Amino acid sequence: MPRLSRKPAPKVDDRAAERADAWLVAGNIRIHGRRTSVRLEPEMWSALHEVAELEDMKIHDVCSAVDDCRADGESFSSALRVFLLQYYRGAATGARKPPGLQKSARDRDS
C-alpha cells in the first residue's frame, strides 16, 4: 500500500480574515419558521429589507423563497447575495422577478 504524504496546510493570514469578517453584520431570520442567523454586509441587509418592502413581503418570506431555490451545497448567505444581485439586475433590465418570489407571491394570495 503506498504511503500518503501529508502536506502542511497553507498558512492563512488570520488578520486578513478578521478584517473581512469585520464588515459583516449578523442578523436573525426565520426560514420556514426555523430561526437561524446570517452574516451579511450592511448593504445586503439594506437591499434585503428593500426587496421585502417592494414585494410587500416579510424578510423571512423572501429568505424562505431563496432557500427553496438554492442549489445543493450552496451556502444560504451566498444564495441570498446572488438572489439580491439577480433581483436588482432584473429590475435594471426590466426582466421578470426571480421564480422564488413569483411562487411566494402566488402562495401568499391564496
CATH of residue 69: 1.10.3990.20
Assigned domain for 102 exists: yes
Assigned domain for 64 exists: yes
Assigned domain for 10 exists: no
Where b means 16+ CB within 10 Å and e means fewer, 68-105 reads eebeeeeeebebbbbbbeebeeeeeeeeebbebbeebe
Cβ-Cβ contacts under 8 Å for 5 (sequence gap 6 or more): none
Assigned domain for 8 exists: no
Please tell me the pTM assigned to this model. Answer: 0.70
Assigned domain for 5 exists: no
Assigned domain for 14 exists: no
Assigned domain for 9 exists: no
Q: Map residue 1 onto helix, strand or coil.
A: coil
Q: What domain count does the chain have? A: 1
Lowest mean pLDDT among 15-29, 33-47, 56-70, 80-94: 15-29
Three cell numbers at 39?
A: 452574516
Model confidence pLDDT, tens digit, residues 37-75: 999 999 999 999 999 999 999 999 999 999 999 999 999
Fill in the amino acid letter for 94: G
Print the domain residue range for 85.
19-109
Lowest mean pLDDT among 2-16, 45-59, 92-106: 2-16
Closest alpha carbon to 47 in 65, 62, 31, 68: 62
Three cell numbers at 72?
A: 445543493
